[in-house]
Amino acid sequence: LLLISPRCSHRIPRMLRAAALTISIGSACGFSVNFFNKPSIGRDVRAGVVALNMIDCHGGAHLSVEQKKALRETAELVARSGKGITACDEGPGTIGDRFEKVGIVNTEENRRLYRQMLFTNPVGSDYLSAAILDPETIFQRSDAGEPFPSLLMSQGIVPGVKPHLKVATLPGAGGATVMQGLDSLGTRCRSYYEAGARFAKWRSPLVIKDGDISDLAVRTNMEDLARYALICQSEGLMPIVEPDISLQGDYDLETAIRVNVKVQSHLYKAMLDHGVYMEGTTLKPNMVNPGKSCQRKYTAEELGEATITVLRRCMPCAMPGVNFLSGGQSLEDAAARLNAINRAKGNSPWNLSFSWSQALQLPLLELCKKNPPGSPLPLKEMSELLSKELAMAGAAARGEYHPAPGQGDHIPPAKAAVVA
C-alpha cells in the first residue's frame, strides 16, 4: 500500500515505478521493504508519503544453509567439553620480546620450532579443541613439510588465525583504543581460509577508568567486533569475539560485574543488528575479576559466581561456548578461577573453557633461563611441562581441578606483598 498526498498525485506513476524497483531489488538481495517506518537505507520520497526501507539482514540470512552448517559445526568443535584453545597468535615482535628476555634468539626458524613443539604435544589432542595462529605461523610447515593447519586438523585440533592488525588510539576518548584491520579483512580472511584456517579471533582491549568505560569506547569497539564477525562468516571463518577488559585499576567486583554486563550487552546487540549468525560464533572474554589494585579480598568462588552472573544476565544461549582469556593471570590462578566458574555454572547452557597464551607459555619460556644466552630451545623439557599444564587446564575446564587453599583468590596488593 502506498499513501499518496493529493499534492503528489501527478507523481504517482514515477513513485510506483520506484517502489516496484525497490521491492524487486530488495527481494533479489534478501531484504524486506517497509513503507511505513523511517528508512535506515534509502530516503523518503516526501515526508509522510512513502518510506522505502531495506531491513537489516537477520541471523545470517545472507548465508547459505551449507555455510551456516559449517560455521555452527566449527563453533561446536571449539566448544567440546574439557578441551580449550591454545593461543599461539603472538606476532614476531611480541614473541621476540619474550624470547629475548630468556636468552633465545628471535629468528623465524626458532619461532617455527617453538610453535611446532606446541602443536605436537603428545597429550595435546586430549585437552585442546583449537589453536589460534599468527598469520606468519599459518603459512609455516613442520619438519616433515606438513602445513601447520593440516598438522593440527589431523589431531582433531581446529586451526584458526588472528586477523586484526595494530591497536590505535581513539582520538578524544581519554586514551581509549580501537583495533585496526577491518578495511582489508575480507581479502585476508579468504587467504587464511585457503591456507586451512576455520575460525578467526579479534581482540578489542578496554580499560575501566573512574569506575566505567565510556559509551563511545564501548560502542566503537563492539560495533567493530560485530563487523569483523559478519565479514568472517561471509568468508567461511567462524568468528571468536574478544572483548578484553583490562585488570588495570582498583575497581571492585561489583563494578566489574556492571561494566562487563554493559560491554557484553552492547556486543550481542551489535552482532544481532549486523545479522551475525550467533550459533556460528564463540565468545572469548576476560574472567570477571576486580582490578589488580583493588583493596578488597575476594575468593576464587566469588569470582566464579561473578563471571557466571554476567553471562546469565546477557549472553545469548545460541552461542555454544565461552573460552576465557588469561589476561596476565598466572596459570595457577587462572586454573583455580576457571574451575570455580565451572563449579558455579549450574544449568547454564554454554561450554566454559580456556583460551590461554601467557598462562601456558611463560612457564615454558622460563626453562630457557638456565641455559647460556643464544642456546637452542629446550624443546623436550618444554613439551613435558606443557603436558602437565594442559592436564591442569583440562581439569579446570571440567570443574575437576583441585587448587591449593587460597589459590585463585584476589589478594589486595599490600597484603600480597606481606605474604610474599
Active site residues: 242, 284
Cell numbers describing residue 333: 590462578
Strand partners, 373: none
Measure the CA–CA gap between 208 and 68, rounded to whole angstroms.
36
CB 244 within 8 A of CB 295: no
**DSSP letter string over 149-165?**
HHHHHTTT-EEEE----
CA 283/CA 338 separation, integer angstroms: 15
What is d(CA 165, CA 380) in angstroms, rounded to the nearest whole number?
33
What's the rounded Cα separation, in Å, for the pair 311 and 308? 5
Contacts of 131 (CB under 8 A, 6+ apart): 85, 86, 87, 88, 118, 119, 152, 157, 158, 159, 160
Measured CA distances, 138 to 89, 249, 274, 376 (Å): 10, 36, 29, 23
Fill in the DSSP letter of residue 44. B
Supply 42's cell numbers. Answer: 534509502
Instruction: Calculate helix-pair angle for 215-234, 185-195, nearest 10 degrees.
Output: 50
Measure the CA–CA gap between 315 and 89, rounded to whole angstroms: 26
Separation CA 120–CA 131 (nearest Å): 12
Q: Which residues contact 249 (CB under 8 A, 6 or more apart)?
A: 207, 208, 209, 291, 292, 293, 294
* DSSP state at residue 212: B
Distance from the first to the final alpha carbon of the chain: 75
E-strand ranges in 69-181 read: 84-88, 128-133, 158-161, 167-169, 177-179
Cβ atoms of residues 206 and 176 within 8 Å: yes
